[in-house]
Amino acid sequence: MDFRGRVFLAPLTKGGNLPFRRLCLAHGAVVTMGEMAYGYQVVRRSKSELALLRKHAEETCFGAQVAASKASDAIAAGLAAVERGASWVDLNCGCPIHDIVRRGMGATMLQRPAHLAKLVGEMVKGIPVPVSVKIRLGWTESEQNASEVARLVEEAGAAALTVHGRTREQRYSRAADWDSIARIAAERTIPVIGNGDLLTWYETHERWQKSGVASVMLGRGALIKPWLFREIAEKQAWEPTASERLAVYFDLARKMKEHFRDDEKGKERAMRFLPWHFEFFCRYRPLSAERYVESSRQHPLMQTRFEDDGGELSVLERLLRDSRPELHLRLAELLWSSPDAAAAEAAAIGLAAEMPPVAGDAGEVAIAHG
Ligand SMILES: Cc1cc2nc3c(=O)[nH]c(=O)nc-3n(C[C@H](O)[C@H](O)[C@H](O)COP(=O)(O)O)c2cc1C
């Protein structure tokens, strides 16, 4: 596993489901990561937790992520992931959510650097593939200890380190601090993977180059536009029409059918994911380099609000930008039941007549994870 020169799909609870990861592969992603799995649940052989460690045959470079506070849990989960074909195992040390931190996992690890180092050391000994660690800058702004944590993690034998450039307290309220990411990358010899606010190919290349990180990782950017991987590889934007985007979303529905099966039970399971994806898909806006590169240097586009142009948009375009959850459910259902993308488009236009679209707005994509 080479951690340099890569564009990683971030570990994303719910979002990084197997069909969505396949969609990213179809649009240029090469390196994927699974949804975070709890080590202690894997130890109990929880079926749903073990399922999070599964990869698709198309995923040739797949990292499984585990959350654990005990080495035995982390190793058991890591070994289960390796049995299922993981190329490496990542330890979550950034997740801010209450349920995780109260159990001593996720971002709590940043408050116990010596314990973290010991845990990583034991993982490295007990798991026969590379072990990486994903951190935030610290617990609060005044307690930023990512440099120290990064050093300890390197000394403990980790193969790579991802730095999400925000603190636990900040969640998504601030722009990611790429200066701090750059400093940590310069201090370390293991590959540092920079993460935070990458929404366009030009922001990605600029931050990658300026920060000197070995690799970059995409979270919400990939959820909004899974084709961002290809844009980054080709250094040019693809600005799909509403019809082209609907075809991409139809493809996701197809992949969900293959994964969950094309029956009532499969539909029920897919509907836990497919409508949810529209919370991100609806935030897509074409952000041409010509128009936005300057402003993206002042403030990441991910953290910027864009007003819609109003009357110029087609019915389908306005429908796909709509942020209403009830509409996302209807869109997901019509994608599931349509035989092909053209039929889905006709049904979507029918839906627009039934539920006149209101323009959604692309605010910061604030989700309490990571
Ligand atoms: C829906 C969602 C789920 C997430 N789940 C995880 C997770 O399971 N493990 C993790 O380490 N980070 C998780 N994160 C954080 C991302 O991996 C990433 O670090 C963060 O979103 C910053 O990158 P971005 O600005 O590109 O989104 C999640 C983020 C989102 C939006």
Tell me which residue has its CA closest to atom 11 in ligand 1.
370
Question: Does 7 sit in the ligand 1 pocket, CB within 6 Å?
Answer: no
Residue 360: what pLDDT? 54
96 shares a domain with 131: yes
Cα 216 to middle of ligand 1, angstroms: 13
* Tally of domains in the chain: 2
Tens of pLDDT along the chain (370 residues)? 999 999 999 999 999 999 999 999 999 999 999 999 999 999 999 999 999 999 999 999 999 999 999 999 999 999 999 999 999 999 999 999 998 999 999 999 999 999 999 999 999 999 999 999 999 999 998 989 999 999 999 999 999 999 999 999 888 889 999 999 999 999 999 999 999 999 999 999 999 999 999 999 999 999 999 999 999 999 999 999 999 999 999 999 999 999 999 999 999 999 999 999 999 999 999 999 999 999 999 999 999 988 776 668 999 999 999 999 999 999 999 999 999 999 999 999 999 999 876 755 555 554 444 4
Cα separation, 78 vs 157, whole angstroms: 15
**Residues 6 or more apart whose Cβ sits within 8 Å of residue 181:** 163, 165, 192, 194, 195, 196, 211, 213
The answer to whether position 269 is within a domain reads yes
Residue 308: what pLDDT? 74
317 shares a domain with 230: no
214 shares a domain with 130: yes
CA 47 to mean position of chain CA atoms = 23
250 shares a domain with 228: no
**Residues 6 or more apart whose Cβ sits within 8 Å of residue 21:** 9, 29, 32, 34, 56, 59
The answer to whether position 369 is within a domain reads no
Residue 306: what pLDDT? 84
- Residues written for the chain: 370
Cα separation, 329 vs 81, whole angstroms: 33
277 shares a domain with 173: no
Cα 355 to middle of ligand 1, angstroms: 32
Cα 223 to middle of ligand 1, angstroms: 10
**Among 185, 201, 234, which residue terminates a domain?**
234
**Among 204, 234, 264, which residue terminates a domain?**
234
247 shares a domain with 293: yes
Tell me which residue has its CA closest to atom 10 in ligand 1.
370
161 shares a domain with 286: no
The answer to whether position 325 is within a domain reads yes
Domain range spanning residue 258? 242-354
The answer to whether position 366 is within a domain reads no
193 shares a domain with 92: yes
Q: Which tokens go with 240?
A: 């799909």
Residue 106 alpha carbon, nearest atom of ligand 1: 11
**Among 234, 258, 293, which residue terminates a domain?**
234
**Residues 6 or more apart whose Cβ sits within 8 Å of residue 357:** 315, 318, 319, 321, 322, 327
- CA 215 to each of CA 2, 10, 55: distance values in angstroms, whole numbers, following the listed order: 10, 12, 22
Tell me which residue has its CA closest to atom 12 in ligand 1.
370
Surface-to-core class of residue 164, CB atoms within 10 Å of its CB (0-12 exposed, 13-18 middle, 19+ buried): buried
CB 33 within 8 A of CB 16: yes
44 shares a domain with 143: yes
What b/e readout covers 118-139, taking b as 16+ CB neighbours within 10 angstroms?
ebbbbbbeebebbbbbbbbbbb
231 three-class SS: helix
Question: Does 170 sit in the ligand 1 pocket, CB within 6 Å?
Answer: no
Cα 139 to middle of ligand 1, angstroms: 16
277 shares a domain with 216: no
Q: Which of 7, 9, 12 to mutate to test the pocket of ligand 1 (most atoms within 8 A of CB)?
A: 12
The answer to whether position 113 is within a domain reads yes
163 shares a domain with 78: yes
The answer to whether position 368 is within a domain reads no
The answer to whether position 161 is within a domain reads yes
Question: Does 203 sit in the ligand 1 pocket, CB within 6 Å?
Answer: no
Cα separation, 89 vs 33, whole angstroms: 9
Catalytic annotation, residues: 95
256 shares a domain with 220: no
The answer to whether position 115 is within a domain reads yes
Cα 83 to middle of ligand 1, angstroms: 25
**Residues 6 or more apart whose Cβ sits within 8 Å of residue 349:** 315, 316, 319
What CATH number does residue 165 fall under? 3.20.20.70
Question: Does 219 sit in the ligand 1 pocket, CB within 6 Å?
Answer: yes
